[in-house]
Amino acid sequence: MTARTLIRGAAVVSMDDSIGDLPRGDILIEDGTIVAVGQGLDQVDADIIEAGHMIAMPGMVDTHRHTWQTALRGILADGNIPDYLRGIRLQMAPRYRAEDMYVGNYLGALDCLNSGVTSLVDYCHNILDPDGAHAAVTGLLDAGIRGLYGHGMTPVVENTWSESRGGAESGEESGSYPARAALAREIKSTYFSSDGVLRFGLVPQELAITPAAEVVREFAFARELGARMTQHANQVIVRQLFSDVAVMHRHDLLGDDLLLVHCTFNTPEEWKLLEGTGTMVSVCAETEMQMGMGYPRIAEATRHTPGPSLGIDCVSGDAGDMISHARLVLQATRYRSDEPGYERMVAPQQMLWTTRDALRWLTINGAKAAGVDDVVGSLSPGKRADVVLLDMSGVSQAGWNRRDPAGAIISQAHAGLVDTVLVDGRVVKRDGRLVHVDLPAAMRRMDASQGYLYDQMDANGGFIPQPPIDIPLYRERA
């Protein structure tokens, strides 16, 4: 029997040029696929969602999040990279149990869905043991989110920023390459035998802490598995040591199966090296500007890659509201484009960056960066139904511009307005509540996990034990 859902009367932002925006329109979904977008669609045998006071948009895509850190939400609100390395990577990460990895990914993915993020690139670089890896994947699967599970190849307890050295190359210890590769194969074969809403990806080690030869080997391994890759690149201002994109170019690692994160300190030459490779970039503006990783490079990614996407990055520092994040990035990018004129006392005459650009970062570009643009990213007939409805009936939205719903989303909305969310045609949030999970039970598990982690932190000298552990990379090049 065909399952049908009809979203009726919404202001539709399709992100499909052939459809455009509709001040009032309907969306018909059959068995999880969008079959029609238009006006006056009538389907008696359907679950009707009355959306006359709502905006319908494609589900948003977060292309870079360390979801496992959810239990540490906000602990890094005033932290920079050295604080992050000392507090998160060196102090807290090694103390995670499998249960903590599950809860972090499960509640983190539910946070995404609750905020209208239907696809996620999970950068899971805290794989301490096989149990933790299985738990991390299971958390995402149980939450029902689409996207990419990025399996981290870093041997966490043996390859740290405090020493800036590579992982072991031989032997049977957990950090050895054979052990790490075997675990990645096991995870892929166990959970990702076919393309479901969640796909398998690989996170090679960072060039900042790993010899290039190891990174090359891990890229080759990922391509052998047919896995999309994502990796931090040029996010620290240490030009004496790093030129990540140039190194990748020399080793033929760039390609359309690669999503780089940050690239805030790419040289102009490195941006040119990205041209024509299909490599995409995730911009994580709040983290970048807070933690000393430079200015968000939307303009450069627009000029030299298939287009920028956006990531929240560390919920240990920032919230998961992608609409507000996109608004911040848009305004920062507008300011940067106008800044040369300010220096000459010339007022800007043209708006070079628009709310439509910001919506592309959140939807179509994000889907491409996550490797799921073949199925989502726009409200196009034939694509799977990842749909978000924003409730614009509140007093703070009174007077919103139905003739420009795209502008209304970026300039006026926020995650708190997310009323209804569909993933693959399945309603996971309705009337402002997640409806597909036992949320009170999930919150109890989060409370227990957070309590355990904070007890461990307190018993081991606090978030950043004193005196702070030495990080030669930063001490020598501060």
CATH of the domain at 386: 2.30.40.10
The pLDDT tens digits along the chain (478 residues) read: 789 999 999 999 999 999 999 999 999 999 999 999 999 998 779 999 999 999 999 999 999 999 999 999 999 999 999 999 999 999 999 999 999 999 999 999 999 999 999 999 999 999 999 999 999 999 999 999 999 999 999 987 665 655 544 333 444 455 789 999 999 999 999 999 887 899 999 999 999 888 899 999 999 999 999 999 999 999 987 655 678 999 999 999 999 999 999 999 999 999 999 999 999 999 999 999 999 999 999 999 999 999 999 999 999 999 999 999 999 999 999 999 988 888 899 988 899 999 999 999 999 999 999 999 999 999 999 999 999 999 999 999 999 999 999 999 999 999 999 999 999 999 999 999 999 999 999 999 999 999 999 999 999 999 999 999 888 766 655 4
Please count the CA atoms within 13 angstroms of the CA of 23 that sit on its side-chain side.
4
Is the same domain home to 159 and 88?
A: yes
Q: 439-459 vs 98-114: helix axis angle to the nearest 10?
A: 130
User: What do you get for the CA distance between the two ends of the chain, in Å?
Assistant: 64
Q: Using a cut of 0.85, tell me whether the model's pTM lies above it.
A: yes
Is the same domain home to 144 and 12?
A: no
In a domain, 371, yes or no: no
Please count the CA atoms within 13 angstroms of the CA of 53 that sit on its side-chain side.
12
The last residue of a domain, from among 434, 454, 472: 434
Q: Which amino acid is at 324?
A: S
Q: What are phi and psi of 399, to 5 degrees?
A: 90, 10
In a domain, 299, yes or no: yes
In a domain, 450, yes or no: no
As a whole number of angstroms, the distance between CA 112 and CA 120 comes to 8
As a whole number of angstroms, the distance between CA 158 and CA 178 comes to 15
Residues in the chain: 478
Is the same domain home to 275 and 299?
A: yes
As a whole number of angstroms, the distance between CA 278 and CA 369 comes to 10
CATH value at residue 178: 3.20.20.140
As a whole number of angstroms, the distance between CA 102 and CA 68 comes to 8
Residue spans of alpha helices (H) in 115-267: 130-143, 177-191, 212-225, 244-250
Is the same domain home to 24 and 128?
A: no
Of the candidates 107, 13, 35, 30, which has an alpha carbon nearest to the alpha carbon of residue 69?
A: 107
Of the candidates 102, 162, 171, 169, which has an alpha carbon nearest to the alpha carbon of residue 132?
A: 102
Number of domains in the chain: 2
In a domain, 139, yes or no: yes
Is the same domain home to 27 and 106?
A: no
Is the same domain home to 298 and 388?
A: no
Token pair, residue 312, equals 């929240």
Domain encompassing residue 167: 60-356
In a domain, 99, yes or no: yes
